[in-house]
Amino acid sequence: MSDMNNISRDTNNSAATKHFVEFMIVAGTFMLPSLFMAASADPEAVMRLEYQFFSVLLGLPQIAFLWLFLQRSGSGRLAAAGWVPVSSSMLKPALRTAVVLFVVMGAAALLSMQLLGGEPGPGAPAAGAAAGAPASEVPIPLIALLLFVSTMVNSYREELLYRGYAVSTLRAAGAGRATAASVAIVLFAVVHLYQGVYGLIGAAAGGIVLTITFLRRGEIHSIAWAHAAYNFILLMTRILAPGFLQ
């Protein structure tokens, strides 16, 4: 009986180690392109057609790869990562989460300005959202369409990676809920570091809301929709009223 217990314990430890190593490889592989892209970003870039196209072209293969990887891994990993059938009942929690995001991230921006002094500049807009000036030659409907597509793609990419995959895989590796959530929030904040300290604080605040919501709901669709709505509204506000969020 003791031998059987030892074998079971060794098997569990081996599986946990495998999940942890896998997480380190996947998270690093996904984060490096984002960090490289962010490093060369400027305040104007997000409103440019090429930036939006590149963002979509980068995000779609990442979503497809991670989805296929989880689906083929079996053991219910895709469902554990929150990819469940879409339902109209997810619209209400998505709206509620978007409202909470605006409140929490707005409060985080105000608090950080009080503590750190100054105001977020064009490169680090309030509440940690990406900002940029609209290209005058691009019609508003076209840039709005591109922003809708890119914010939806980027939100699904980030929620699948930083909420669904990160939390569920770290939990499978033996981490507790609080530890897995904390790691996911820190990684999500780090990839927004290019936006400066205000972007880092805003992303951390948003990450807390989104991660808690994921732990409560167990699905990423409503969270991704809320995330996309938040980014889309802020970016469109920067286009239509450039000085409003300064």
Structure tokens at 238: 């920067």
Q: For residue 48, is it within any domain?
A: yes
pLDDT value of residue 25: 87
Q: For residue 207, is it within any domain?
A: yes
Residue 14: pLDDT over 80 = no
Q: For residue 9, is it within any domain?
A: no
Q: For 198-228, what is each residue's pLDDT tens digit?
A: 888 999 999 999 999 999 999 999 999 999 9
Mean pLDDT on 130-137: 44
Number of domains in the chain: 1
**Averaged pLDDT score across all residues of the chain:** 82
Q: For residue 1, is it within any domain?
A: no
Q: For residue 246, is it within any domain?
A: no
End-to-end Cα distance, the chain = 67
Number of helices (H) and strands (E) in the chain: give both, helices first: 9, 0
Residue 71: pLDDT over 90 = yes
Taking residue 53's Cβ as centre, other Cβ atoms within 10 Å add up to 13
Residue 5: pLDDT over 70 = no
pLDDT value of residue 44: 53
Q: For residue 79, is it within any domain?
A: yes
Q: For residue 90, is it within any domain?
A: yes
Domain limits for position 211: 17-240
pLDDT value of residue 1: 52
Structure tokens at 139: 């019609």
Residue of 89 and 191 predicted with greater confidence: 89
For the chain, give the longest Cα–Cα distance.
75
What distance in Å separates the CA atoms of residue 206 and residue 180, rounded to the nearest whole number? 16
Q: For residue 6, is it within any domain?
A: no
